[in-house]
Structure 1
Amino acid sequence: MEPHCVKQQVQIDSITDSDISSNTRVSRTRGAACGIEARLQNPGTSPLAGAVGVENGQRRSQGDCAPCWACLRCGTISWLREVGVVKIRDVDLNLLRVFECVFQTRKVVEAAEILGISQPAVSNALKKLRELFNDELFVRTKSGMTPTQYAMQLAEPISYALKTLEIAIEASESFDPRRDKRHFVIATSDLGDMYFGPKLISHIRDISQDITIEFVRNNRPHIVDSFENGEVDILLGFRPDLITNMFVFRLFYQGWSILARKDHPIFSSKAPREDLLACRWIGVRSEGSGLASVNAELLKVGMDRNIVVWTSNFGTLAPLLAVGDLAACVPEKYTTVIDEAFGLKSMPFPVDLPKHSISSVWHSRAHNDPANQWLRQQVSILFKEA
């Protein structure tokens, strides 16, 4: 069964930087895909102002040097010119690629071949760059396209920014569990911790020591917000209410069992359905396990069980069953993780109850994330049943 989403996924193909003003505030914007930060300060307060010929917002008489400064830490450039400020929204990434290639080759023809575009396209790009930066940038000489002083100042920041962006994009397109560190957060019930946890952790440890796992409850408040904010990577279990913007991949169908001590009379009963009402039961209030709906189904068929003990999780259930004549209705997978040391036994529940679809669930925002895809693949390998 292929994962499905009830709402069409919206794919972001490009990032548009917000307008950066030229006032005295520091204006910042982060690209959603690569985390690159664009920063522009008032020229009079720039920590690099003195080094590039800018003082109190005015050009200093230092040759023909045109004022500019670059933030190399975040890899995004801001340019200050006599005629005003070049805004990030006006800078076409492809123009910067042309600038870098012409700067490296000093030849329009060679740059066109490397970029895979025509020579007129390179010439047109250079025209736009000159208009944008109010500078010739490259002057045709006998030795080729010679960069101006201003182009020399721009070259290193532009190259750094393009390389930073390239690295960020390439990193977002791949995930190598043997090399990359990642902390995964998995939402599930306490039963899910016991069933999925040991096998998944052992499997991942065999692949990498740098991947960490955190299990949180799948009934936590605002679980949808946790998905949208990236606080939860995937959910494992039964949450049919999670629909909008979610992908669902069924792992298996889960039925129901009776669990009790090995010597409990229910296992030797010739009329187990009738004897169910005579049993004393432990009830489990474990949100996200599907037991609430099962209890409702039993009441529909007239099976009002005599529940004398309630517990809030499956972790305490086995020890409680081991010390008395109590029985419990549990998901069948729970019986596979109970230690034989408790001396317990199980059998299929003698009443026809609806099976629950146990699934891997993730938000559409993480659908194309390589790390999330890898985690989902491991879950499928380990737990997918026919």
Structure 2
Amino acid sequence: MALTERVQGSGRAATAIVGIGFSTLSRRPIGSARMLARDAIIAAVADAGLEHTAIDGLLINRSPLADPESLPLRLQQDLQWPRLRLLSGIEGEGSSAVQMLQYASLAVAAGLARHVVCVFADDPIRPSGGGGQAFSPPVPVSGIDGWEERCGLYGATGAYALAAQEYLDHHGLDADAFAPVALAQRAWAQRNPRAFLREPLTREGYLASPWIVEPFRLLDCAYPINGAIAFVVTTAERAADLASTPVHLHGMGQGHGGFAGFGQPQQGLTGAALAGRTACAMAGVQPADIGACQFYDAFSFTVLLALEEYGLCAPGEAAAFVAAGHTAPGGRLPCNTGGGHLSGYYLQGVTPIAEAVRQLRGEAGEGQLEEPGLMLVTGNGGRLDYHAAVLLARGAVL
């Protein structure tokens, strides 16, 4: 199928995810990101039912805070793939994993490669302590070199807290508006054996968690781990001949608005709306056709913002939507059904992809959705600067 047919919305997917693999996932040091990536890739290729030599494309994503040498292009040599037709490192910060899926899909649809492996790996948890120090460097929000460090604004938590407080103020909400997000995702995590935070959570328990940077409490923040996840992408035609259950890609989009500045929430803080419109146009659908979502949720706030900017809730209404239980188990728009980054595990943008594959292949066990339908998967990075989205479904035809 020509790429132009796909872009014009023929209703038939051109590409699919056909395999997924995990390394060991842990809150303890378990090896280098490079070693974990290799393990996940080998598992993904086996899951796809492919021979190791069938892979002719490799896309690599590391944390933007990691040393470039922690996950180099030389990973190709570790895997003994001497003649790849596609090899690159993808850097779009938290949107990178979804971008990898997009670029792999374009490559196989165009004939640049036949079977492309995409991998993200990270090892922020070190013997010296938890993952906090790995995420503490200042995130530029002012455009003035060194301003954040001089003012004591360290890490993504501080940068996102400014945006979150602006959102609350603009819509007349208080910080308790984030509690239902954390509670809903913990309820999903209790159904996911891979989730790291599975203990029952009450509103009182959420409110008892300490402040990190107001308006964020500890339980509003992602839970980083060491590990790697890889997935294999090929054409829908080839996927039909494989033993694994394919997950088909129907639409994709990106939106990179950069930081719009403070005091302008009414104009939209991110490029998510552009990413969503592009993905929906490609698939020939509307936001109302989406049955479930896997959002990039480094912080609880980003779930509310994503619901609104992807057109699933009107501006300012997402908090009430989540509080009514619509995103929780039994709700009409299930979101982050593995616990997301808050209660599941934080492996940046590959966490939402992995959960989408688990649901759409019918492998989610106790947390399985009866009918996942069309699933929105998102990634975002920087300080809400970079966005990517895909629309996935079980079938090749919507």
TM-score normalised by the chain length of structure 1: 0.20
- The structure whose residues are more often strand, as a share, is 1
> Greater RCO between the two (CA within 8 Å, min separation 6)?
2
Rg (Cα) greater in structure: 1
TM-score normalised by the chain length of structure 2: 0.20
